[in-house]
Amino acid sequence: MGAASDDAVKQLALLMDQVEAPLRRTFQNVHQGYPKETLLRFLKAREWNVSKAHKMLVDSLNWRIQNEIDTVLERPIVPVDLYRSIRDSQLVGLSGYTKEGLPVFAVGVGQSTYDKASVHYYVQSHIQINEYRDRVILPMLTEKFGRPVTTCVKVLDMTGLKLSALSQMKMLTSISTVDDLNYPEKTETYYVVNVPYIFSACWKVVKPLLQERTKKKVKVLHGCGRDELLKIMDYSSLPHFCRRESSGSSKHSSTDTDDCYSLDHPFHKELYGHIEEQASRKELIKMGSLHVSIPEPDPDDAKIVEVIQAEFQKIGEQNGSANGHKV
């Protein structure tokens, strides 16, 4: 970091020292003993503008308090069959770690259907994965390596992406807004694999709208990306859909213990077991979904969503239909 960056961190730290006690308490759950790294993330997200980063962080801490995020890992989604159906339709999981020790999260963008539960359950599950990553996995890695490990990488599988994904735009926008405003700069790099034409067309029009910092994070790889990904991780950490060319991300292309989306994968078993254990320590288990308030998206992000929707519609018209025809 340069002198200007150091100065910005010091200014933001002084401002955070002045916030009320409830905000300081939830801030501890966010930074997990490494406040400087957290301040840096919020500063990066606001282009090093201290006052904007301060507002963003305070807004995020208030959001956590209002929505009881600090106790979200004490609220299992029950019954387990409901949680299993969420895992089958919201495809995300931890496949392993990079050679530098960063967690590798796989996301099945193209084949996630989000059609087995209400939006509240999907948002709750997404937040639980974020919180488990930040409050359990990353601190464990920090202790293991003796240095702060505060970020991850994501491998986004576009297999099966269709025009019908437009109907999921509201859900995806809700989840991305939660991430952008409350978990900024947690992903070092996004590796995009198994790219169909529809993604390439959208990426072409969206890329110029992104901040340079974001553009540098996105790496669109050839095919399943196996050879490129093996430069940064071992074969055992590759997501199942990257392990052989043309394998796609079929939910049934590998065993459930290899498929990091599955509830039977060690990551999801550990996550769900952790939440059940935390809940068992409480006298009263809160049932039902957690209704998290979704913040208003940043105007620039809202514009990007509009561009994506327009591009989807244009492609649909070019193909004579926007009824889910695969392109």
Closest C-alpha among 102, 97, 101, 105 to residue 126 = 105
Element containing residue 280 per DSSP (H, E): helix 266-280
Please report which confidence band the pLDDT of residue 324 belongs to, taking 50, 70 and 90 as the band edges: very low
Please report which confidence band the pLDDT of residue 247 belongs to, taking 50, 70 and 90 as the band edges: very low
What single-letter DSSP state applies at residue 287? P
Q: Give the residue range(s) of CATH 1.10.8 domains in the chain.
A: 1-67
Q: Give the residue range(s) of CATH 3.40.525.10 domains in the chain.
A: 77-245+255-280
CA dist list (Å): 43 to 6, 39, 51, 249: 11, 6, 9, 36
pLDDT digits (tens, 9 = 90+) for 123-172: 999 999 999 999 999 999 999 999 999 999 999 999 999 877 777 888 88
Cα 18 to Cα 21: distance, rounded to the nearest angstrom: 9
- pLDDT of 190 above 90: yes
List Cβ neighbours of 77 (8 Å cut-off, separation of 6 or more).
83, 86, 121, 124, 125, 289
pLDDT digits (tens, 9 = 90+) for 222-244: 999 999 999 999 999 999 999 87
Closest C-alpha among 137, 87, 79 to residue 108 = 87
- Residue 173 identity: T
Cα 4 to Cα 226: distance, rounded to the nearest angstrom: 39
pLDDT digits (tens, 9 = 90+) for 94-110: 999 999 999 999 999 99
Predicted pLDDT of residue 303: 80
Taking each helix axis from N to C end, the angle separating 299-318 and 169-182, rounded to the nearest 10 degrees, works out to: 150
Yes or no: say if 230 and 221 are a contact pair by the CB < 8 Å rule: no
* CATH top-level class of 77-245+255-280: alpha beta
Task: Give the SS3 label for residue 234.
Answer: coil
Q: What is the pTM of this model?
A: 0.90
* CATH top-level class of 1-67: mainly alpha
Yes or no: say if 210 and 240 are a contact pair by the CB < 8 Å rule: no
12-21, 46-55, 245-254, 301-310, range with the lowest pLDDT? 245-254
